[in-house]
Amino acid sequence: GAGVSQTPSNKVTEKGKYVELRCDPISGHTALYWYRQSLGQGPEFLIYFQGTGAADDSGLPNDRFFAVRPEGSVSTLKIQRTERGDSAVYLCASSSKTGWDTEAFFGQGTRLTVV
Amino acid sequence: AQSVSQHNHHVILSEAASLELGCNYSYGGTVNLFWYVQYPGQHLQLLLKYFSGDPLVKGIKGFEAEFIKSKFSFNLRKPSVQWSDTAEYFCAFRGGTYKYIFGTGTRLKVLA
């Protein structure tokens, strides 16, 4: 596709439920990022993939959060036992290579609301 | 810890006024620097970037930014803003890692 695509664009879920957020990166992009943006804040790093592997998951807040990228393209962010504090916009970004001089392209995000 | 400070949280300007948004980062080594813009209802878009070379970087829509290494700064400027520049602006950097570290953003409102 022309850009990074995230689905759904909005998700409302009840506290305690499980959710999956999907990201389709730009075709051919090997690097993929997940960020979380809370109200009034800048994007906060969650996890970074190079190909299929999570090169850095140090930003995941706890073990309720998990992400996969099984074929090195689409990625899914999974949140178990959601809490109201998980409400935020979840952003996905991709870049064409893993080298130093690269820029990330962002999707429109998934707005997650936990009620 | 690596961080970015954006000094102005909200800025209101009249059309044709000049703009300067401050950005300071904390990291002692080589950096890549970015300004991203988010127009209402849209996704984050790259405005401009600095990797190396000329510290004065020109981006889209007449924006420019200057990297001053001694001040750890990368301020964004535009000589004459337009109503369509109303948006939120984020400064970000990468320092020794592939993570992008973002500031908290500056909301710019331009009055017609």
At B37-59, the pLDDT tens digits run 999 989 999 999 999 999 999 99
DSSP strand E in chain A: where?
A: 5-7, 10-13, 19-24, 31-37, 44-50, 53-56, 65-68, 75-79, 88-95, 105-106, 110-114
B-proximal residues of A, 2-41, CB under 8 Å: 3-4, 31, 33, 35, 40-41
Residue A88: per-residue pLDDT: 97
Tell me the chain A residues in contact with residue B33 when contact means C-beta distances shorter than 8 Å: none
Q: Is residue A103 part of a domain?
A: no
The CATH number given to whatever domain includes residue A64 is 2.60.40.10
Report chain B's mean pLDDT, rounded to a whole number.
Answer: 94
Q: Is residue A17 part of a domain?
A: yes
| Cis status, amide bond into A8, omega within 30 of 0 | yes
Its CATH class, for the domain covering B3-111, is mainly beta
pLDDT band of A99, cuts 50, 70, 90? low
Domain ranges of chain B: 3-111
Q: Is residue A106 part of a domain?
A: no
| pLDDT of A17 higher than 80 | yes
Say yes or no: A100 contacts chain B, CB-CB below 8 A. Answer: yes
Tally of helices (H runs) and strands (E runs) in chain A: 0, 11
Contact B46 A105 (CB under 8 A): yes
Say yes or no: A109 contacts chain B, CB-CB below 8 A. Answer: yes
Residue A100: per-residue pLDDT: 65
Mean pLDDT over residues A60-67, rounded? Answer: 96
- DSSP H or E run through B76: strand B73-78
| pLDDT of B79 higher than 80 | yes
- What is the spatial distance between Cα B9 and Cα B100, in angstroms, rounded to a whole number? 20
- Work out how many domains chain A is built from and give that number: 1
CA distance B87 to chain A (A): 13
Q: Is residue A109 part of a domain?
A: no
Mean pLDDT over residues A36-53, rounded? Answer: 93
Tell me the chain B residues in contact with residue A93 when contact means C-beta distances shorter than 8 Å: 44, 100
pLDDT band of A102, cuts 50, 70, 90? confident
Strand order in the sheet with A65-68: A5-7, A19-24, A75-79, A65-68
Residue A98: per-residue pLDDT: 61
Mean pLDDT over residues A7-23, rounded? Answer: 97
Range of lowest pLDDT (A8-12, A31-35, B25-29): B25-29
The residue range of the domain holding A69 is 5-96
